Chains A and B, each alone.
Chain A
Amino acid sequence: MSLFAFLGTLEIGLIYGLVALGVFLTFRILDFPDLTVDGSFPMGGAVAATAIIAGINPWFATILAIMSGSMCGLVTAFLAVRCGILHLLASILTMIAAFSINIRIMGRPNVSLLGEPTIFTPFEQSGFDQFHVHLAVVFLLVVFSALFIIRLLTSDFGLGLRATGVNDRMVSAQGGDIGFFTYFGLALSNGFVGFAGALFAQSNSFADVTSGVGTIVVGLASVILGQTLMSSSRIWVAVLAVIVGSILYRLAVAFALSSGMFGMQASDLNLVTAALVAVALIAPKMKGKLRFKSVKG
């Protein structure tokens, strides 16, 4: 893999790290299986791209994108908490509705940002290489997001959020409002996913309505991959782990893309990616077992 491809992989891994953070919040912290992300990711891109084309400041456009993602989360929470629809189905409904809404927002299935100002533009003019600048800005934004989540989850409020996922009856008994925590958690989670969508669109110069396909799969794979390799009950380790998981997932895709030399054809990409992720999950266990055996022997 070339350095250019490696840095590109790192950048996409970091952007999808925000998706992984969102999925971590719903699946791990709130224990709410939320598929809304397949809709909120492209919505973030759609809103950011449309706003930028309309002449709105890219940073403000990104904030609008975060808000649109949060709106998706709130709709899912409303359907689940208020209307009593099973959480999985509630999120599926939001996800499929978002597809149509995204086309409405953009007016067509694909909006291009080539040649338009983005949040990266001011830094690109500083004279550094364009692609290094993208990586640096994305890295800083992801670090800030991670610090924010760590700070939030370690606060008293975050304790309530975490308790909602572990034992909601206890939270109610203590006078906590489970419904509120669910609304808040889903809005926060999908806000991060919308943020990722906005960064993806601006870094790669296009927002496409199909870019949401399989977001949840990648997010879940990143969370599980990261937490298997770096398991700890500490919040900051868990947050770091899901971002590392996302980067590892993208590295697996990048290696699968270079697998042509092993006689693989282009359409084998998903198979090779799945195999690499499986190996990454199994390998540490194998190592542990071997060590165990040798100790016994």
Chain B
Amino acid sequence: MKGLYGLKGITLFCAMALVVISTANTFAQTYKVAVSQIVEHPALDATRQGLLDGLKAKGFEEGKNLEFIYQTAQGNPAIAVQIAKQFVGESPDVLVGIATPTAQALVASTRTIPVIFTAVTDPLGAKLVKNLDKPEGNVTGLSDLAPVAQHVDLMQELVPDLKAIGVVYNPGEANAVSAIELLKSAAKKKNLKVIEATALKSSDVQGAARIIASKVQVIYAPVDNTIASAIDALVGVCNQAKIPVVGGSTSFVESGAVASLGFDYYQVGIQTADYVEAVLKGKAISEIPVSFAKGSDLFLNLEAAESLGITIPESMLQRATNLNK
């Protein structure tokens, strides 16, 4: 019997050795990137496509030197967990989690394989990282929080004698609350006042805007589902008060906001590719700080500006990527 066990042990050892040798030998320059996405919808699909295209632009091409594995949990967090286990078992070079639950499931499943999250609004709140500038452990990535500081610059450029920014938001929405905090800190640096008005439902937006419209020179519409559904009411009040609305999302420009600066999710994917590239090239995670998606699309609504009697600076017109006449 003892001999039999010995034989088994040797066989097992040989099998393990074979696995180790074969993994060590398989094309040293083929990279394996595994992407787990919580659900399929246009923004997240665009992020994934942007990532794939961004990697291609950097010389990582699917089918050549890149193995791109992708799974979607079809909206079910339990499946997201199974995908995470499956991916970790395949030991890819990089794991990418698109949106919060998938990223959390990946982070909970491995402490060694690098995990890049993307399209996560609040990575600190989701506890994916503890330190944005120097991520500890194996996790870093890109947040899709709107570039609020850049919006403040935009407002100042648009209204040169800006003193106070008005903002209407829903205090029940976590995304909006974190945007307002950023707005306050960015405004403070420029000695600007922020006057807040809260709206719990979309029907409250009009009243809230009226209260602050006379005290400010511009109103900021943050990325907030309540504001988004009542953006017309907000713009209406501002038109009466002859002050411009600057949108936190480029989609607000179409509804009458004078300007907005932002990103679309394809660009979020392209920026995520920078992270994947850095990890594939062997950079330590602690040297890859978490950043916020950068927006370079400037949307202007000339018609709205004209009716408010605002002259948009020439430099801004030249930078604009989208003009709504």
A259 CB to closest chain B CB (Å) equals 10
A253 to B84 CA separation, bound complex (whole angstroms): 13
Do A257 and B88 have beta carbons less than 8 Å apart? no
Do A115 and B130 have beta carbons less than 8 Å apart? yes
Do A3 and B89 have beta carbons less than 8 Å apart? yes
Closest to A2 in B: B89
A270 to B76 CA separation, bound complex (whole angstroms): 11
B119 CB to closest chain A CB (Å) equals 14
Contacts of A269 in B (CB 8 A): 71-72, 74, 79
Closest to B173 in A: A108
Do A205 and B86 have beta carbons less than 8 Å apart? no
Q: Mark A5-17, 1 if CB is under 8 A from B, else 0.
A: 1111100100010
A267 contacts chain B at the CB level, 8 A cutoff:
yes
In which size bucket is the chain A interface?
Answer: 35 or more
A266 to B70 CA separation, bound complex (whole angstroms): 7
Question: For chain B residues 103-161, which have a beta carbon within 8 Å of chain A?
Answer: 104-105, 107-109, 111, 125-128, 130
Contacts of A253 in B (CB 8 A): 79, 82
A222 CB to closest chain B CB (Å) equals 12
A1 contacts chain B at the CB level, 8 A cutoff:
yes
Do A112 and B109 have beta carbons less than 8 Å apart? no
- Choose one: A3, A12, A130; the contact of B82 (CB below 8 Å): A12
- Choose one: B71, B91, B125; the contact of A257 (CB below 8 Å): B71
Do A108 and B174 have beta carbons less than 8 Å apart? yes
Do B81 and A112 have beta carbons less than 8 Å apart? no
B207 contacts chain A at the CB level, 8 A cutoff:
no
B255 CB to closest chain A CB (Å) equals 26
A213 to B127 CA separation, bound complex (whole angstroms): 23
B101 contacts chain A at the CB level, 8 A cutoff:
yes
What is the total number of residues of chain B having a CB less than 8 Å from a CB of chain A? Answer: 36
- Choose one: B74, B77, B78, B81; the contact of A270 (CB below 8 Å): B74
A250 to B85 CA separation, bound complex (whole angstroms): 12
- Choose one: B37, B71, B78; the contact of A200 (CB below 8 Å): B78
A270 to B73 CA separation, bound complex (whole angstroms): 9
Contacts of B100 in A (CB 8 A): 110, 206, 208
- Choose one: B72, B82, B109; the contact of A267 (CB below 8 Å): B72
Question: For chain B residues 1-57, which have a beta carbon within 8 Å of chain A?
Answer: 37, 40
Chain A contact surface mostly: helix
Do B72 and A208 have beta carbons less than 8 Å apart? no
Contacts of B125 in A (CB 8 A): 108, 112
- Choose one: A5, A16, A260; the contact of B78 (CB below 8 Å): A16
Q: Mark A234-269, 1 if CB is under 8 A from B, else 0.
A: 000000000000000010011001101000001101
Do A211 and B78 have beta carbons less than 8 Å apart? yes
Do B88 and A213 have beta carbons less than 8 Å apart? no
Do A112 and B104 have beta carbons less than 8 Å apart? yes
Do B79 and A5 have beta carbons less than 8 Å apart? no
- Choose one: A108, A131, A213, A260; the contact of B75 (CB below 8 Å): A213
Closest to A5 in B: B89
B122 CB to closest chain A CB (Å) equals 9
B290 contacts chain A at the CB level, 8 A cutoff:
no
Q: Mark A81-106, 1 if CB is under 8 A from B, else 0.
A: 00000000000000000000000000
Contacts of A4 in B (CB 8 A): 85, 88-89
Q: 8 A-B pairs, CB-CB below 8 angstroms?
A: A8-B89, A12-B81, A12-B82, A12-B85, A200-B78, A205-B107, A206-B126, A257-B83
Nearest first, the 7 closest Cβ-Cβ pairs linking A and B are A8-B85, A2-B89, A5-B89, A4-B89, A112-B127, A205-B108, A114-B127
Interface residues of chain A, those whose CB is within 8 Å of chain B, are 1-9, 12, 16, 108-110, 112-116, 130-131, 200, 203-206, 208, 210-211, 213-214, 218, 250, 253-254, 257-258, 260, 266-267, 269-270
